């Protein structure tokens, strides 16, 4: 009973968090899931359940989607997913997590320097391609694809609505693609599928609660939340990597 309540509460909070900050559901949930299951099992389960969060958010914010950037990002992210799955099979979880954390750390360091210099730099549109390849790789190898696209969102100066729409619509399609691949690989156990039947509705409840909250958040505060989530991402990746 404790495990049942633990899993469903974690995913309800994950849905709310993702709905407020545009990403971070798996970032929040995966470390907590590792307390009751093996790391790779937690990643696979989180991809399955987390898909419901991105799908529901993309439904509510689909009108804000920037079409050209979305198309470029989708193609690049799909290309990165199989690469990440290969890394998950070949490389140790420790190496993957530490490398991902290092990428985010460099970005945050650059943001700190740019902020002190009052830089108005905006990333060119084409940079969505390498950012999305990295997102696809991180999604399928760590269960956390959002941080790479959140870096791009910060550099492009997206509004909170565009950020929510773009990150979650792309993640929804990429995660559906990933779930299909994982299903074909036979990675889902009967226990995972049974757990998902309860966790998915909890995720959607969390998203629904987040909608009235995000409408009252100032764009500047939203950007701070986004950078805060990236800091949290970096810390968690290093903690999991070193701990692994």
- What was the pLDDT predicted at 118? 47
Indicate the domain borders of the chain. 2-243
Cα torsion through 97, 98, 99, 104, rounded to 10: 90
Which tokens go with 224? Answer: 């701070």
Instruction: Walk along the chain (244 residues) in steps of 10 and give the mean pLDDT of each run.
Output: 87 91 80 83 88 93 89 89 81 79 78 58 84 85 76 83 88 83 87 90 94 87 82 81 73
Name every residue whose Cβ is closer than 8 Å to that of residue 47 and which is 6 or more positions away in sequence.
26, 139, 140, 143, 175, 178, 179, 182
Read off φ and ψ for residue 96, nearest 5 degrees.
-60, -45
- What was the pLDDT predicted at 56? 94
- What was the pLDDT predicted at 114? 57
Name every residue whose Cβ is closer than 8 Å to that of residue 24 and which is 6 or more positions away in sequence.
14, 17, 18, 146, 229, 232, 233
């Amino acid at each position: 009973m404790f495990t049942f309540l633990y899993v469903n509460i974690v995913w309800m909070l994950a849905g709310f968090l993702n709905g407020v900050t545009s990403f971070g559901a798996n970032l929040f949930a995966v470390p907590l899931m590792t307390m009751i299951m093996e790391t790779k099992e937690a990643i696979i389960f989180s991809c399955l359940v987390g898909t419901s969060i991105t799908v529901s958010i993309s439904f509510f914010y689909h009108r804000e989607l920037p079409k050209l950037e979305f198309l470029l990002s989708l193609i690049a992210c799909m290309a990165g997913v199989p690469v990440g799955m290969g890394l998950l099979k070949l490389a140790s979880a420790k190496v993957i997590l530490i490398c991902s954390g290092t990428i985010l750390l460099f970005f945050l360091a650059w943001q700190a320097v740019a902020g002190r210099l009052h830089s108005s730099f905006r990333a060119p549109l084409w940079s969505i391609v390498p950012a999305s390849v990295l997102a696809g790789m991180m999604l399928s190898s760590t269960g956390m694809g959002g941080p790479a696209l959140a870096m791009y969102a910060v550099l492009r100066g997206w509004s909170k609505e565009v950020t929510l729409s773009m990150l979650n619509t792309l993640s929804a399609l990429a995660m559906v693609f990933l779930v299909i691949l994982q299903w074909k690989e036979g990675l889902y156990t009967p226990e995972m599928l049974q757990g998902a039947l309860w966790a998915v509705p909890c995720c959607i409840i969390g998203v629904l609660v987040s909608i009235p909250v995000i409408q009252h958040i100032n764009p500047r505060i939203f950007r701070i939340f986004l950078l805060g989530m990236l800091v949290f991402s970096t810390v968690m990746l290093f903690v999991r990597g070193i701990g692994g």
